[in-house]
Amino acid sequence: MNSAKHDLEDLKAALSQHYPQSAFRTCKEAYALLSGLCAAGDPSAYYGCGWLYLKGKGVPKDTEEGFAHMLKAACCDIGNNRPLCFLAECYEKGVGVDKNPVEAYIWALMFFANEDGEDADAQTAILERELTPAVARRAGKEAGRREKLRQEGELTPEYCLAQAARYKPRPLLQDKLTIIGRAFIPPEKAAGPTETPAEDDDPEPSSSLAYAYLKQCKRNFKPELVEFELVVPRKLTKHEDMDFTRIKIRYNKKDTDAKDISLFYPLGINKAERKLLIILAAQNSEPDPLKRADKLLRVLSQNRAATSVSKLNRMYRAIFPGCQKSKADSLIGRQAGRVAIRLTIDTTMLAKARDYDACRF
- The string of pLDDT tens digits covering residues 278-317 is 888 888 777 777 777 777 778 777 877 888 888 898 899 8
Q: Count helices and strands (H / E) in the chain.
A: 13, 8
What's the confidence (pLDDT) of residue 308? 87
Picking from 166, 187, 216, the residue at the C-terminal end of a domain is 166
Query: Within 10 Å of residue 189's Cβ, how many Cβ atoms?
Result: 10
Rg of the chain over all Cα atoms, to the nearest angstrom: 22
* Per-residue pLDDT, 240: 85
Do both 218 and 353 map to the same domain? Answer: yes
Under 8 Å between Cβ of 340 and 331: yes
pLDDT over threshold 50, residue 189 = no
Last residue of a domain, one of 120, 143, 166: 166
| Residue 98 neighbours by CB distance under 10 Å | 15
3, part of any domain:
no
Residues 33 and 136 in one domain: yes
pLDDT at residue 111, rounded to an integer: 86
Determine the average pLDDT of the residues in 244-252. 89
Q: Please tell me whether residues 208 and 309 are part of one structural domain.
A: yes
Beta partners for 249?
A: 228, 257
Question: Do 221 and 159 share a domain, yes or no?
Answer: no
Of 33-37, 50-54, 82-86, give the lowest mean pLDDT range: 33-37
**Range with lowest mean pLDDT among 31-40, 76-85, 183-192:** 183-192
Are 145 and 87 contained in the same domain?
yes
CA atoms within 13 A on the CB side of 241: 10
- Do 13 and 111 sit in the same domain of this protein? yes
Angle between helices 63-76 and 43-55 (to 10 degrees): 150
Average pLDDT over the chain reads 77
Number of domains, the chain = 2
Beta strand pairing call for 178-180 and 183-185: antiparallel
Contact partners, residue 44, CB within 8 Å, separation at least 6: 15, 18, 19, 37, 77, 80
Asked whether residue 82 falls in the same domain as residue 160, the answer is: yes
Do 292 and 334 share a domain, yes or no? yes
Residue 194 lies in a domain: no
Instruction: Check whether residue 15 and residue 140 sit in a common domain.
Output: yes
Q: Is position 192 within any domain?
A: no
**How much of the chain, in percent, has pLDDT values that exceed 90?**
4
- CATH number, position 27: 1.25.40.10
Co-location of 276 and 343 in the same domain = yes
Residue 189 within any structural domain of the chain: no
For residue 141, count CB atoms less than 10 angstroms from its CB and return exposed for 0-12, middle for 13-18, buried for 19 or more.
exposed
How would you classify the pairing of strands 342-345 and 226-231? parallel
pLDDT of residue 331: 87
Quickly list H helices, 40-100.
43-55, 63-76, 82-93
The answer to the question of residue 171 being in a domain is no
**What global pTM score does this model have?**
0.49
Domain check: are 103 and 215 in the same one?
A: no
Q: What per-residue confidence (pLDDT) applies to 213?
A: 80
At residue 256, does pLDDT exceed 50?
Answer: yes
Q: Say if residues 235 and 349 touch (Cβ distance below 8 Å).
A: yes
Q: Measured between alpha carbons, how far is residue 57 from residues 29, 93, 210, 263 in Å?
A: 10, 20, 36, 26
Residues in the chain: 361
Residue-wise pLDDT for 325-356, tens only, equals 776 678 888 777 788 888 988 888 888 888 88
Same domain, yes or no, for 294 and 247?
A: yes
Rounded-to-integer distance, Cα 290 and Cα 286, Å: 9
Q: What are the C-alpha distances in Å from 36 to residues 39, 46, 190, 219?
A: 5, 10, 43, 40
User: Where among 142, 166, 190 does a domain terminate?
Assistant: 166
Judge whether 350 lies within some domain: yes
Domain containing residue 162: 8-166
- Taking the C-alpha atoms of residue 142 and residue 164, their distance in angstroms, rounded to an integer, is 11
Q: Report which of residues 4 and 12 the model is more confident about.
A: 12
Span 19-45, mean pLDDT? 75
Which pLDDT value is given to residue 347?
Answer: 86
Residue 193 lies in a domain: no
Residue 30 lies in a domain: yes
Residue 27's pLDDT band (cuts 50, 70, 90): confident
pLDDT tens digit sequence for 192-229: 444 444 444 567 777 788 888 877 777 778 888 899 99
Is the model's pLDDT at 190 over the cut of 60? Answer: no
